[in-house]
Chain A
Amino acid sequence: MEDVLLIAGKQIKSRFFLGTGKFSSYALMKKAIESSSAHIVTVALRRVNQGAGNENILDFIPGDSILMPNTSGARNADEAIRLARLARAAGCGDWVKLEIINDQKFLLPDNAETIRATEVLAKEGFIVMPYCNPDLMDARRLKDAGAASVMPLGSPIGTNQGLRTKELLFILIEEIDLPIVVDAGLGRPSQAAEAMEMGCDAVLVNTAVATADDPELMARAFALAVEAGRSAWRARPAQIGKYAKASSPLTGFLR
C-alpha cells in the first residue's frame, strides 16, 4: 500500500516540514527548502515584509510549497486569530500553524488558548495545525475543535534536546486519530528518525537546520532521516527486548 500523508484531504509529499526563521539569509533558507524537498514550509507572519525596498521572504519560498504562516508572537487566542486572518488577507492561503506563547522564557505553548483559537479558525475554514504541549486531553479537545493535525513539542523550542516528551508522544500517537507532527526541540537528524520510528506522522524542524554551519546539507540530512525513520516504522521492527532469550526456557517443560 502506498504510504501517503494526508492532511485536510491534501497529499503532503514530504514528512519533513521546515521552519524559516533564524537563517542567515533568505537565499540560504531557499537552498535548505530545496535540498530537503520539504513540502510544507512555515513562515512567521510577523516577518513577512511586503513593502517596497526590502526583501520579502515569500519571494524565496518555492512555488510548489504549501505555505503555512504561523502566528508567532501571539500571546492569546485573540491575537492568534487576528494574525491568521491577516495572513489570509495577505494572500498566504488557509493553512495556519497556530502558535500561542505566553511565556517568553521557555516559549512553551498555551494549550487552553490554542484550543480556543482552533475552534474559531477551523470554523472560518482555516486548516489549523496547532503547536501544543503533548497532553492527551488537550489533544482530544483540539481534534474536537477542528484541528487538522496535532503538533506537540519534543522539547522546548531551540533547545535541540530531542524527544524529552517521548512517553507522552507515544500516547498521542496511540490515541489521537489525526496526524501527529513533532514540532520543536529536534536538534539532530537521529532524533527526527527516532520520532518517525515511534510512529509520528511528520516532524517540523527549524533551529537545528537554520543554525547549522551548512543549513543546506543539514536540511537534506533531516529529510533523509525522516524518510529512514518512516520506512523503519513501516517495516515493523522486531521488539527490542530487555532480557536475553534464555536457551533453556523456563516453560520448556510444557509439552
Chain B
Amino acid sequence: MGFEYTLKEFQGYDFNAFFRQVSDADILRVIDKHQLDNFDLLILLSQRAENHLEAMARKSRELTLNNFGKVIYLYAPLYLANYCDNECLYCGFNRVHSIERKKLSLEEVEREAQVIHRTGMRHILILTGESREHTPVSYLKECVFVLKKYFCSISIEVYPLEAHEYSELIEAGVDGLTLYQETYDRALYKQLHRSGPKSDFTYRLSAPDKACGVKMRSLSIGALLGLSDFRLEAFFLGLHAFYLERAYPEVELSVSLPRLQRAIGDFAAICPVSDYNLVQVMLALRIFFPRVGINISTRENREFRSHLIGLGVTRMSAGSRTEVGGYASLDKTQGQFDVADTSGVEEVKEMISLKGYQPVMKDWQAL
C-alpha cells in the first residue's frame, strides 16, 4: 500500500475545522504524553500551539538531550553536476534557466574532496540534478569510489532510483539517502513541477521505500517549507516519517526542514514560514519523534542556527557550497540556492562548542 494510502485517507479532511477546536488544555496534555498519535502532532502544529512554544521547547530539549546528548553531527554537501531534465519553478537548476551547466570530472571530484577533507569533514552528501544522461548511476559510482578515500560516510541526494540501482550504490559505498518530496500537496506539486521525471508525484514518493527495501542505512526526508501551508506540510512529513519508521525500523531516519531560499529565477515563497513557525515545526516533530534526527542546513543563517542548538536539531551542514565546483574549482557555476550561513567549518564548530555542544565530524565507519 505504501504511504500514498495514508495520504489518500486525509483527502478532503477539514484541517481548519480541526485546528479551530484545539484548546490550550489539548496542547498541554499532548506535551506531557509519552506516545503521540497523528492528531496529537496536528495539535502541536496548530495556531493555538504557538502560545505554548516555551513549554514545547522544554519538552523537546529534554527528549533531544536524552536521545542524542550534547552533540551536533556535521556534514558537507558536494554538488557534482547541475544538469537537469526537470522544470521545477523554485529551483536554480530548472532546465529552462540558461545557466552554465557543468559536471565535475573525477579529477575535479577528487580536488573538491581534498578541500572538504581538510576542514575535518568526514560525512559527505553528494548532489546532482535529475539527468540520467549526464549523471547516470555509473557516474555516481565512479564518484563514490573517489570519495571513499576521503570520507567515512557518503550520502546521496540525486534523482529517484530503482531498488537495484540503490543496491549498486550501497555496494559501492553509499550509506545514506536524502530525498525530499518538496510538497505533499499533490495539486500544487503538479503546478510546481511542470515537466520532467520529477513531475510524477508517486514515482518520487515511492523512492524512499525502494532504498529502505534494499537496506539503505540512513534516510532523510523533507518538505520544502514555503511552498504550501507549513502546518500541513509538516504534518504529512511527520506521517511519512512515521510510516517509514514502522515499515523499516532498522533505518536511521531523519527529517529536514529546508526553508525556501532565493535562487535563480526569483521564485517567491507562496506561503512564507516565519522563524517562529519553523521552530514550532521543529519542536512538534521532536515531541512526536523522540529518536528521529532533525537536519537544519545552511539555508538558515548563523545566528538562527545557533539558537536552534539544544532545542531539537541534531545535524547541520557546514561550510556549504551549492555551486558545482564550489570548493576548489576556479570556474564554478552559480549555486542551486543562496546559502544563508556562510561561516566556514571551523566557525560552525566554534559556534556549536560555545553553545555547550560537541561538533561531531564522524559518526559512522564504512564497513
Give the interface of A toward B (CB within 8 A): 21-26, 45-49, 51, 53-54, 73, 75, 79, 82-83, 86, 102-107, 158-160, 207, 210-211
Q: Which of A24, A26, A48, A105 contacts B365 (CB 8 A)?
A: A48
- The complex places the Cα of A106 from the Cα of B292 at a distance, in Å, of 11
Partner of B70, one of A24, A54, A79, A160: A24
The answer to whether A103 and B250 touch across the interface, beta carbons within 8 angstroms, is: yes
Are B69 and A207 in contact, CB atoms less than 8 angstroms apart? yes
Interface string of B343-367 (1 = CB under 8 A from A): 0000000000100111011111101
Instruction: Report yes or no: A47 in contact with B362, Cβ–Cβ below 8 A.
Output: yes
Q: Which residues of A contact B251 (CB under 8 A)?
A: 104
Contact A23 to B70, CB < 8 A, known contacts A73-B365, A79-B367, A104-B249: yes
Of A48, A86, A159, A211, the contact of B65 (CB 8 Å cutoff): A211
Contact of B362 among A46, A105, A107, A159 (CB under 8 A): A46
Q: Are B363 and A46 in contact (CB under 8 A)?
A: yes
Check if B118 is an interface residue, CB within 8 A of chain A: yes
Instruction: Check A105/B69 contact, CB under 8 A, given A26-B358, A45-B365, A79-B367.
Output: no
Confirm or deny: B66 has a beta carbon within 8 angstroms of a beta carbon on chain A.
Answer: yes
Specify which of A26, A49, A75, A158 is in contact with B67 (CB 8 Å cutoff): A158
Chain B residue contacts of A48, Cβ below 8 A: 362, 365
Would you give 11 A-B contacts (Cβ < 8 Å), ordered by A? A22-B70, A45-B365, A46-B362, A53-B119, A54-B122, A75-B217, A102-B250, A104-B249, A105-B245, A211-B66, A211-B70
Query: Assuming A158-B66, A210-B70, A211-B70, is B363 touching A107 (CB within 8 A)?
Result: no
Contact of A23 with B249 in the complex, beta carbons under 8 Å: no
Q: Are A49 and B361 in contact (CB under 8 A)?
A: yes
Q: Which 3 residue pairs across A and B have the least CB separation, nearest first?
A: A22-B69, A24-B70, A49-B362
Q: A47-B363, A79-B367 are in contact. Are A53 and B118 (CB under 8 A)?
A: yes
- Are A54 and B66 within 8 A (Cβ)? no
Contacts A104-B291, A107-B291: A23 and B69 contacting too (C-beta < 8 A)?
A: yes
B24-83 interface (Cβ within 8 A of A):
65-71
In the assembled complex, how far is the CB of residue A96 from the closest CB belonging to chain B, in whole angstroms? 14
Q: Does B68 contact A83, Cβ atoms closer than 8 Å?
A: no
Which of B120, B245, B252, B367 is most buried by chain A, counting CB atoms within 10 A of its CB? Answer: B367
Output the least CB separation between A112 and chain B (Å). 14
Asked whether any CB of chain A lies closer than 8 Å to the CB of B84, the reply is no
Contact A46-B358, Cβ < 8 Å, known A22-B68, A22-B70, A104-B251: no
Query: Are B68 and A24 in touch, CB under 8 angstroms?
Result: no
Among A26, A48, A158, max chain B CB count under 10 A is at A158
How far apart are the CA atoms of A159 and B252 in the complex, in Å? 19
Contacts of A210 in B (CB 8 A): 69-70
Chain B contacts of A54 at CB under 8 A?
A: 120, 122, 361-362
Answer yes or no: B318 CB below 8 A from chain A CBs: no
Q: Given the interface contacts A104-B253, A211-B70, does A24 sit within 8 Å of B360 by beta carbon?
A: no
Bound Cα distance from A21 to B67, whole angstroms: 11
- Among the listed A46, A106, A159, which residue makes an inter-chain contact with B66, where contact means beta carbons less than 8 Å apart? A159
B69 CB contacts on chain A under 8 angstroms = 21-23, 207, 210-211
Nearest A-chain residue to B249, judged by Cβ: A103
Inter-chain CA distance A45–B362, complex, in Å, is 10
**Once bound together, how far apart are the Cα atoms of A73 and B363, in whole Å?**
9
User: In the complex, what residues of A have CB within 8 A of residue B291's CB?
Assistant: 104-107
Q: Which residues of B contact A102 (CB under 8 A)?
A: 249-250
Residues of A within 8 A of B117 (CB): 51
Closest to B67 in A: A158
Is B249 within 8 A of A53, CB to CB? no
CB contact under 8 A between A24 and B120, given known A159-B66, A211-B70: no
In the bound complex, residues from chain B placing their C-beta under 8 Å from that of A103 are: 249-250
Interface residues of B in 119-149 (CB under 8 A from A): 119-120, 122
* Bound Cα distance A45, B363 (Å): 9
| Cβ-defined contact, A207 with B365, below 8 A | no
- Closest CB-CB distance, A120 to chain B, in whole Å? 15
Say whether A23 contacts B358, CB under 8 Å. Answer: yes
Q: Which residues of A contact B360 (CB under 8 A)?
A: 47
Contact B66 A49 (CB under 8 A): no
CB distance from B148 to the nearest CB of A (A): 14
Closest to B251 in A: A104
Asked, given contacts A104-B249, A104-B252, A105-B245, whether A25 binds B367 with beta carbons under 8 Å apart, the answer is no
Task: Determine the residue in chain A with the shortest Cβ distance to B357.
Answer: A24
Distance in Å: Cβ of B170 to nearest Cβ of chain A: 13
Not counting A24-B358, A75-B215, A102-B250, a sample of 8 additional A-B residue pairs whose C-beta atoms are within 8 angstroms of each other reads A24-B356, A47-B360, A54-B120, A73-B364, A75-B217, A104-B250, A105-B245, A207-B69
| Docked pose: A75 CA to B215 CA in angstroms | 10
Q: In the bound complex, do residue A75 and residue B250 qualify as a contact, i.e. CB atoms below 8 Å apart?
A: yes
Question: What distance in Å separates the Cβ of B292 from its nearest Cβ neighbour in chain A?
Answer: 8
Question: Shortest distance in angstroms between A28's beta carbon and chain B's nearest beta carbon?
Answer: 9
The interface bits of chain B over 236-247 (1 if a CB of A lies within 8 angstroms of the residue's CB, else 0) are 000000000100
Distance of A254 Cα from B173 Cα, bound (Å): 80
CA distance A15 to B263 in the complex (A): 58
**Distance, CA A161 to CA B168, complexed state (A):** 42
Question: Contacts A104-B251, A207-B66 known; A22 to B71 CB distance under 8 Å?
Answer: yes
Residue of chain B at shortest CB distance from A108 = B249
Q: In the bound complex, how far is the Cα of B65 from the Cα of A207, in angstroms?
A: 9
Is B358 a contact of A25 with CB atoms below 8 Å?
Answer: yes
